[in-house]
Amino acid sequence: MPVSHQNALREDGKSNLNVGGTSNNNDMSDGMASGTTSAALVYKLCSHIIGLSSDVLTPSYQLALRTLSCISTAAIESDEFEVSEKIKKRLVKEKKEEDAVRFAELHQKLKGSIVLKNRWAVLCFLYNLTGLSNKYQTKNGPHGFCFAKFTMTSPLRNVGFTNTSKSYSNQQSRAVSTGKSLCTRTGSEKMVFTSLPSSYQLTHSGGSVDQGHGNLTDSGNGSVCSNSSSSRVAHMAALFSDREKLEGILVPVTTKKVISSQVQKQGSRTSNELGVPLLPESILLREVLFAFQGIDGKFIKMQPGKDKFHIDSKAGICGQVRRQLLRLTELGWMYNKVDKFCESQSYNKTLGLVGQSFVAALQEELSEYYRLLAVLESQLHNDVSTEGTYVSTRSGSLTLHQLVVWTLDPFVRMKQLAALIDSCHGQKGGALASTLYSYLHHADPSIHGLVRHVLSVVVQPIYKMLSHWIFSGELEDMYHEFFVAVNPSVPNTSLWHEKYSLRKTMVPSFLSLSQAKKVLCTGKAINFLRMVCHDHTSVRPRDEQTVRADASTVESLFNQDQDSDFQRLLEAIYKETSCHVLKSMFAHYKFTDHLLAMRRYLLLGQGDFIRHLMDLLHEELPKSANMLYLHNLSGILESAIRATNAQFDSPDILQRLDVRLLEASVGDSGWDVFSLDYHVDGPIGTVFTPQCMNAYLRLFNALWRSKRMEYILSGMWQAQMTYSRLLRTLPGVLPILHYCHFILSEMVHFVQQVQYYITFEVMECSWAELQQKVVSADDLDQLIAAHEAFLDCIITRALLDEQSKDVMTQLCAIYDLISKFQDIQTEFWQQGLDEIAANKALESQVNAKTEMGKWGVTEAELEVRRQKQLEFKKKTVPTTKAQLCVLASSYQDMVQKFLLMIADHTDPNLRFLSFRLDFNEHYKSRNSRLQTSFTYQHRRRYVK
């Protein structure tokens, strides 16, 4: 069964091969031997293996063509390693170990060759030719192999071909007998020839086949192809040679309907189902390229109001191709979405630098997409040429299936860009960067690389703003995208606390909150030194900034798991700037001295000064609050300073110490409104803020009142020791003196324990912790936080917080009873002294008159004196005793209530205070509730 061939000729840069009606075998042999096509190489291989003349070679050559054009029912291994391993295992299984070693050596040499590209295909071909079993060998013919297993299906799936097909043999016989190729048709229909693309399959355009007779119907463009071995060689050669161009492999294409009755029947059925002739693939490709650009074509258009592409139902497109086209148009839909977003945001003035960078990154990706469209457009333009009768197409001509493969990666990238747009819509600044960063951790390397590239572009403005901020303290954020915010209306006195703040919503997720705080602290420190401390030495030169910035990259900002350059840079600048600020505060502005002054004067730590000041104010403060004058009190303060060890403090500290009178209420005395004050300004005012000074004022008032109670009780004890001897002679006074002494002892014990608790357990312990934190502070924020924690601690433990408000109210009520007790005792002593003075005056009068020889006293005067004594005994003593009983009872109740409050308090130190206040269980024996409150079981129930 001879088949006519001619030499492969290269004309005008195209691969064409003229096919004649008949030719002898010598011409075929010569052409194949001298040609450079894949078919010629197959002919050479057959000639080399058999070593026979060209006349005998023809059946072998045809069998080789059929073999190459078939696909094994088994899956073809595309992995060179797996195929080579199969060969070696087979050789070892057949006990040919030496051949297996030799094969491994030859395969290793073959790997070093750059001539052969698809080595796996060659190995697979050789493996299939090894004769898998004797059952595949034929009894007739010189070849000894049967390729029935390998001819089950053709690469052109719609071409029916079997080795035993009678129709095929008959057709081939008729072709030989008439001297015509199988591609030749009878009748008057015009024939044109076209070479197939390397990966072309007739199913791409929806063709149909009669497998039983081996006939191929037209697939929409009116073409018919027989079971030509040339077409199968073209496909398999391209498959085995990657992108090798097939020169001279032509298949006939008709421009009219098929003649065969069966083909006419099939074509008629397809046409009737669709209603119109099927569209050529070139037109569909053009429509798809229009859709890729978001442009409406003739048959594929964007459906108004539904935001999707729609294929004209009247177009001649079969269902399978229609679904494929809709799948391709999805790329155009996503392109439309990205392009519209970029276009709409390009004119948005409020988008910000980060948002503009995001749009720029999207436009950069679109530029790559435009390049792909240009390549596809050029490919389509070169593939479809209308010059002459023949339509010439390269082996790599563009098809719908190829377009699907080529757009897989752009489809994934465009889909990811569309997802990013949906997630980032309406966001800006650090929030936008955080959203993009959430897509970075993706297992697909291509998506990871895409998001990484987009994120590196988007983070550029943030990195630039961050660099300016930490190096020079300059904030260039016109669109409020940076996570550091500035309030220009805030004065420099409040620069550290109020002028700069952290926008937590703008902190990128790849930066931790501690890093963001360090960035904020670094820039604030530079501005603090420059504007508050007037110290410009911390501003680094520009060259040093450039060197440090170059040491870190933008990607190190969001890739800190693998690159720690940014972290090292931030830590170095943060520590350097913070150390400079602390050094200025401690060395130049004497922060430690001012802190110690607060402890001595406002927290009553300087005992001799406070005691002497109270002695000097004892005559002034009992006056009404409206009768006090600051200049008088300031003079008393100066006298107290000069008379105590306070005079040895720094003049700057003493000049800041002053007297302050609080706002007076009706009935307030000087004790209620008097307070010491300490003036702060400049850099130390950053630590001693107005809120802190208010806290010191509250503490001073509480401590001052407690110290006054101690001062009162001390004076009352001295008065008792003095007056008790004088008043012993008065009738009925001794029980009152004993009662007063008993009440005074209780009050002294109570006040001493409270004073001990506040002075040692609260003040001294908190002060020791503050000193440790001040020494170990790394920046000004930590210093401020340590000072504020110190104030909060002593305010809480001194019962000045909101939680302990009831306890403090109860304590103040006890202090009021102490003052009332002082008034009662003072009044009683005054009455007793008056009675003693009256008795002494009467006795002196009697003695004087007796010396003069007169009667000492008249009966009337004696009666008056007796009435006075009786009044003191019957009225003053019982009244005072009653007052003391009421006061003692109230004091007992208040102390017991106070003990109940602190026994259930959350602070363990206050609970221990209750044990010391009732060390002998005096109050516990009087109140059964105290017995329960002090137990561990009650404490457990209270906590629950």
- According to the model, what pLDDT value does residue 276 have? 60
Tokens, residue 198: 């390397």
Q: Which residues of the chain have pLDDT under 70?
A: 1-37, 52-55, 66-78, 129-276, 383-396, 538-552, 856, 933-944
715 within 8 A of 721, measured Cβ to Cβ: no
Query: Would you say the pTM of this structure is higher than 0.85?
Result: no
- 324 three-class SS: helix
Residues 6 or more apart whose Cβ sits within 8 Å of residue 356: 345
Long-range contacts, stretch 820-826, CB < 8 angstroms, 24+ apart: 820/887, 821/716, 821/743, 821/744, 821/747, 821/884, 821/887, 821/891, 822/712, 822/715, 822/716, 824/880, 824/883, 824/884, 824/887, 825/716, 825/719, 825/720, 825/740, 826/719
- According to the model, what pLDDT value does residue 545 have? 52
- According to the model, what pLDDT value does residue 578 have? 93
Q: What share of the chain is helix, strand, coil (3-state, %, to 5)?
A: 65, 5, 30
Closest-CA residue to 720 (of 755, 753, 751, 747): 747
Tokens, residue 687: 């630590």
313/326 Cα distance (integer angstroms): 13
440 within 8 A of 423, measured Cβ to Cβ: no
- According to the model, what pLDDT value does residue 197 have? 35
246 within 8 A of 235, measured Cβ to Cβ: no
483/865 Cα distance (integer angstroms): 89
Dihedrals phi, psi of 550, to nearest 5 degrees: -70, -25
- According to the model, what pLDDT value does residue 236 have? 38
Q: What is the DSSP letter of 669?
A: B
508 within 8 A of 430, measured Cβ to Cβ: yes
pLDDT tens profile 865-898: 888 888 888 888 899 999 999 999 999 999 999 9
- 769 three-class SS: helix
- According to the model, what pLDDT value does residue 133 have? 39
350/135 Cα distance (integer angstroms): 79
**Which CATH architecture best describes the domain 689-933?**
Up-down Bundle (1.20)
**Strand ranges (DSSP E) for 491-578?**
500-502
pLDDT tens profile 264-292: 334 433 433 444 678 888 888 989 999 99
- According to the model, what pLDDT value does residue 523 have? 93
- According to the model, what pLDDT value does residue 549 have? 56
Q: Given the structure tokens 């003035």, which residue do they identify?
A: 349
- According to the model, what pLDDT value does residue 838 have? 85
- According to the model, what pLDDT value does residue 726 have? 82
815/823 Cα distance (integer angstroms): 13
The Cα diameter of the chain in Å comes to 191
Q: CATH 1.20.120 in the chain, residues?
A: 689-933
701 within 8 A of 807, measured Cβ to Cβ: no
